[in-house]
């Protein structure tokens, strides 16, 4: 998995500080109603500094100035949190913009090729890109094969192979061809490329609030309106008791009552959540996708490349009938002499490691037969008329039987034994005779069982999809520790299982890279497409993994849960804070006129004015103190929902009550010397 690339540096902090003042514009502040109320409070108290008797009050100018000063910094700290979160995304966007250059494209026009600026290319145009040239726009390789440097997009220096057809035909504008030559059909118009979308998304220009964020924001605004009504009506009740409540005191009460802490950090939490996904080289098309990943109930994963390494290698030669291991190895090697697949090369490597031999000269002048999905076999036709084949056991059996050959009695038993061990058996035959089996072994990645156990603790069901036979699939599933599996799966099987899970009210995530995965990726609640995959897969998904690592879906789910936990934890902490503020301000407001209220002054604060200022100062400084937590996120540990709730209530609920009591008392000890 990619390491985190984004970091807070001096330039980002300075830019965020500058943005904090720019965001004081009331038109911008209106987007955050809670902090807008605080800003209005600042404006009113600042007005009272210059016109202290405007509302007939007798509070000192110094107190008015102190309240105005604290309210200003409360708003600035909230703006700083949001600007800091945005700054990390904008820094990455600036880096991406540097890689976006004006490129000259070799556009195919009829039978000729002419050079045009990349900005003139339109969807459907065909271009030729040779070694050393930049790919002028997003597209699909329709002819040729080339090695492409995608470090400008992914940050990874290792080149990737792109070829016509299959699941690795997609290319991204701004990347560089470092070998060979390809013909590319452009699939996006100017301004709509993958790089353009990345820049917009990481800048946050198109960030939309998620459903949970909107719901929480609605609750917070409702609380603000309720407390605003309470504070406006409070002086009328106080007058009835012959208690005069000054305007600055009422403003201080309102600011301390409304959920300013979470109100100031809510936007930063959402932006930072998307940024954390981006740091892991995953591009989320929306914040909704990140948030949905935190509520996932079921994950569908391909076996090959996700749960296992995917590089099936020959590990043993197994003879059948009366043949020897040497016979199997020799014929298997001859069938693999011109086989450039990893499996074919591994056969020759195994023969060499086991000190077995074969006559390579026998294959001189032979005709190689490539593997085809229809035949499920490959091999070689020797000049002397003999035909050697290796491939799926049932396909080879059918081929041999078609020539009148006999099937060894122990073939099926040995084949089942390999499948039971989680391997793939390949039969080796020459004309009418089956000599034995090649045991191909695909190893489960280390730590996968532990990771699936973590998923289980999080209440997430894992389903493995594989084209293997049921016996092999069951063995791999047991070794990896997944909850369920689908053997001999086809694209429609994935859609069926997604719909089945969704019909039960569950949210489903899956990964894919091919065109045939596109329908399932679109159907899934969280679909992660591989950057190396096809355009269709990337357009259907709501996330794109730039590193093309299918197992990263597990990290994405953890980040989504961390986002939800962070928002919930800070909301709990913010509301719990208010309890201490009530004990600081309410007694301070009334205990002079109502001495009995002194019993509520449990913190023994110095005076009414010092109590109000201490609560207000704590309300302001807690925001910057919580910025690192909002940016980094609450540490997530796999456990059940009830355990998480209990843990967070103790840490952020009880902690949110205790910390303000301590903080306000310490601030009061300092403020009393000035008041």
- Summarised one tens digit per residue, pLDDT across range 301-311 is 877 767 876 66
Q: Check pLDDT > 50 for residue 146.
A: yes
First to last CA, the chain: 56
Taking residue 25's Cβ as centre, other Cβ atoms within 10 Å add up to 10
Task: Work out whether the CA dihedral 318, 324, 329, 331 comes out positive or negative.
Answer: negative
At 234, which helix (H) or strand (E)?
A: helix 211-240
pLDDT value for 85: 77
| Cα–Cα distance, 91 to 387 (Å, whole number) | 61
At 87, which helix (H) or strand (E)?
A: helix 61-99
Q: How sure is the predictor about 290, in pLDDT bands with cuts at 50, 70 and 90?
A: confident
| 378 SS3 class | strand
State yes or no: 415 annotated in a binding site.
no
CB 192 within 8 A of CB 130: no
pLDDT value for 310: 64
State yes or no: 543 annotated in a binding site.
no
pLDDT value for 330: 93
State yes or no: 569 annotated in a binding site.
no
CB 131 within 8 A of CB 525: no
CATH (domain of 454): 3.40.50.1000
Which of 439, 459, 485 lies at the terminal end of a domain, its last residue? 439
pLDDT value for 245: 78
Beta bridge partners of 127: 107, 184
Q: Which two tokens stand for residue 501?
A: 């899970």
Which of 523, 546, 569 lies at the terminal end of a domain, its last residue? 546
Name, of 91-105, 117-131, 168-182, 277-291, the range with top average pLDDT: 117-131
In terms of domains, do 664 and 573 share one?
yes
Whether 106 is in a domain gets the answer no
In terms of domains, do 399 and 528 share one?
no
| Cα–Cα distance, 418 to 178 (Å, whole number) | 42
Q: Check pLDDT > 90 for residue 229.
A: yes
In terms of domains, do 562 and 668 share one?
yes
Whether 194 is in a domain gets the answer no
Locate all alpha helices (DSSP H) within 354-392, ordered by sequence: none
pLDDT value for 57: 63
Pairing of the two strands 526-530 and 508-512: parallel
Q: Check pLDDT > 70 for residue 435.
A: yes
The mean per-residue pLDDT over the stretch 327-351 comes to 87
pLDDT value for 148: 85
pLDDT value for 371: 81
Q: Check pLDDT > 60 for residue 2.
A: no
At 194, which helix (H) or strand (E)?
A: helix 194-203
Q: How sure is the predictor about 152, in pLDDT bands with cuts at 50, 70 and 90?
A: low
Among residues 125, 149, 302, 525, the one annotated as catalytic is 302
Nearest residue to 92 via CA among 210, 205, 208: 205
Instruction: Report the share of the chain in percent with pLDDT over 70.
Output: 89
Taking residue 95's Cβ as centre, other Cβ atoms within 10 Å add up to 15
Residue for token digits 């929902």?
A: 641
pLDDT (tens digit per residue) in 546-578: 777 777 888 888 888 888 888 888 888 988 888
State yes or no: 187 annotated in a binding site.
no
The mean per-residue pLDDT over the stretch 663-668 comes to 89
CATH (domain of 334): 3.40.1110.10
Pairing of the two strands 424-430 and 176-186: unpaired
Q: How sure is the predictor about 75, in pLDDT bands with cuts at 50, 70 and 90?
A: very high
In terms of domains, do 449 and 369 share one?
no
Number of domains in the chain: 4
In terms of domains, do 431 and 450 share one?
no
Mean pLDDT taken over the chain: 83
CATH (domain of 130): 2.70.150.10
Q: Is the pTM here over 0.85, yes or no?
A: no
Q: Check pLDDT > 50 for residue 205.
A: no
Query: Is 196 one of the catalytic residues?
Result: no
| Cα–Cα distance, 530 to 534 (Å, whole number) | 8
In terms of domains, do 590 and 628 share one?
yes
In terms of domains, do 85 and 206 share one?
yes
In terms of domains, do 343 and 416 share one?
yes
Residue for token digits 């952020």?
A: 652
Which structural domain range is residue 150 located in?
122-189
Q: Which two tokens stand for residue 484?
A: 């369920």
Whether 652 is in a domain gets the answer yes
Residue for token digits 């897969």?
A: 537
Whether 196 is in a domain gets the answer no
State yes or no: 513 annotated in a binding site.
yes
In terms of domains, do 530 and 611 share one?
no
Q: How sure is the predictor about 180, in pLDDT bands with cuts at 50, 70 and 90?
A: confident
Which of 168, 189, 210 lies at the terminal end of a domain, its last residue? 189
- Listed range (28-32, 49-53, 650-654) with the worst mean pLDDT: 49-53
Q: Check pLDDT > 50 for residue 356.
A: yes
Taking residue 53's Cβ as centre, other Cβ atoms within 10 Å add up to 9
CB 33 within 8 A of CB 216: no
Pairing of the two strands 112-117 and 160-163: unpaired
Name, of 130-144, 145-159, 188-202, 545-559, the range with top average pLDDT: 130-144
pLDDT (tens digit per residue) in 626-648: 988 888 888 777 766 677 778 88
Rounded to the nearest 5 degrees, what angle is found at the Cα of 58, between the Cα atoms of 56 and 62?
Answer: 125
Q: How sure is the predictor about 206, in pLDDT bands with cuts at 50, 70 and 90?
A: very low
Measured in residues, the chain has a length of 675
pLDDT value for 214: 81
State yes or no: 176 annotated in a binding site.
no
Whether 24 is in a domain gets the answer yes
Whether 113 is in a domain gets the answer no
In terms of domains, do 450 and 538 share one?
yes
The mean per-residue pLDDT over the stretch 461-478 comes to 84
The mean per-residue pLDDT over the stretch 70-83 comes to 92
Whether 110 is in a domain gets the answer no
Whether 103 is in a domain gets the answer no
In terms of domains, do 341 and 222 share one?
no
CB 3 within 8 A of CB 89: no
Q: Which two tokens stand for residue 51?
A: 């016109």
Q: Check pLDDT > 60 for residue 155.
A: no
405 DSSP 8-state letter: P
State yes or no: 461 annotated in a binding site.
no
pLDDT value for 388: 93
pLDDT (tens digit per residue) in 232-245: 998 888 777 777 77
The mean per-residue pLDDT over the stretch 510-537 comes to 81
In terms of domains, do 566 and 495 share one?
no
């Amino acid at each position: 998995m990619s390491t985190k690339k984004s970091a807070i540096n001096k330039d980002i902090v300075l830019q965020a500080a500058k943005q904090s003042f720019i965001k004081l514009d009331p038109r911008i502040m209106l987007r955050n109603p809670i902090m807008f109320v605080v800003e209005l409070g600042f404006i009113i108290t600042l007005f009272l500094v210059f016109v202290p008797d405007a509302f007939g009050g007798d509070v000192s100018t110094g107190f008015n100035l102190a309240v105005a000063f604290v309210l200003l910094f409360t708003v600035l700290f909230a703006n700083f949190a949001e600007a800091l979160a945005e700054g990390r995304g904008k820094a990455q966007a600036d880096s991406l913009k540097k890689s976006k250059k004006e490129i000259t494209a070799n556009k195919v026009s009829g039978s000729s090729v002419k050079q045009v600026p990349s900005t003139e290319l339109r969807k459907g145009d065909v271009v030729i890109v040779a070694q050393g040239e930049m790919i002028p726009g997003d597209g699909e390789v329709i002819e040729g094969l080339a090695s492409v440097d995608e470090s400008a997009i992914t940050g990874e220096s290792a080149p990737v192979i792109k070829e016509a057809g299959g699941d690795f035909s997609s290319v991204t504008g701004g990347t560089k061809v470092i070998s060979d030559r390809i013909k590319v059909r452009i699939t996006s118009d100017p301004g709509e490329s993958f790089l353009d979308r990345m820049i917009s998304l990481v800048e946050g220009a198109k960030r939309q609030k998620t459903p949970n964020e909107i719901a929480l924001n609605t609750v917070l605004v409702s609380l603000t309106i309720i407390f605003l009504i309470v504070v406006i009506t409070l002086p009328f009740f106080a007058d009835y008791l012959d208690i005069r409540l000054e305007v600055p005191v009422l403003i201080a009460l309102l600011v301390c009552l409304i959920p300013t802490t979470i109100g100031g950090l809510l936007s930063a939490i959402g932006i930072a959540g998307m940024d954390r996904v981006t740091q892991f080289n995953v591009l989320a098309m929306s914040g909704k996708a990140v948030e949905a990943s935190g509520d996932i109930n079921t994950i569908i994963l391909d076996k090959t490349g996700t749960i296992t390494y995917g590089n099936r290698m020959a590990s043993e030669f197994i003879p059948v009938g009366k043949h020897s291991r040497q016979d199997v190895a020799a014929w298997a090697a001859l069938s693999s002499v011109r086989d450039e697949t990893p499996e074919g090369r591994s056969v020759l490597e195994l023969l060499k490691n086991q000190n077995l031999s074969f006559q390579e000269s026998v294959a001189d002048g032979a005709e190689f037969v490539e593997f085809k999905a229809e035949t499920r076999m490959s091999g070689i036709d020797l000049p002397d008329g003999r035909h050697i084949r290796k491939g799926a056991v049932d396909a080879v059996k059918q081929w041999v039987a078609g020539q009148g050959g006999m099937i060894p009695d122990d073939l099926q038993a040995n084949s089942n034994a390999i499948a039971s061990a989680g391997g793939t058996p390949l039969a080796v035959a020459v004309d009418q005779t089956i000599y034995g089996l090649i045991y191909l072994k695909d190893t489960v990645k280390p730590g996968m069982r532990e990771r699936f156990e973590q998923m289980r603790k999080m209440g997430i069901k894992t389903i493995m999809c594989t084209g293997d036979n049921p016996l092999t699939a069951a063995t791999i599933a047991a070794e990896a520790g997944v909850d369920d599996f689908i053997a001999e799966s086809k694209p429609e099987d994935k859609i069926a299982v997604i719909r089945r899970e969704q019909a039960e009210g569950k949210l489903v995530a899956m990964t894919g890279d091919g065109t045939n995965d596109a329908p399932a990726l679109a159907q899934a609640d969280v679909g992660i497409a591989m950057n190396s995959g096809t355009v269709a897969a990337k357009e259907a998904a709501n996330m794109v993994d730039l590193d093309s690592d299918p197992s990263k879906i597990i990290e994405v789910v953890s980040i989504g849960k961390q986002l939800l936990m962070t928002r919930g934890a800070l909301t709990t902490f913010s509301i719990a804070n208010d309890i201490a503020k009530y004990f600081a301000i309410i007694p301070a407001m009334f205990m002079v006129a109502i001495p009995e209220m002194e019993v509520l002054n449990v913190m023994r604060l110095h005076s009414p004015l010092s109590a109000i200022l201490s609560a207000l100062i704590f309300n302001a400084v807690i925001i910057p103190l919580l910025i690192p937590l909002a940016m980094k996120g609450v540490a997530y540990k796999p456990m059940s929902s009830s355990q998480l709730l209990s843990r967070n209530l103790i840490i952020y609920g009880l902690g949110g009550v205790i910390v303000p009591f301590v903080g306000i008392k310490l601030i009061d000890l300092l403020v009393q010397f000035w008041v």
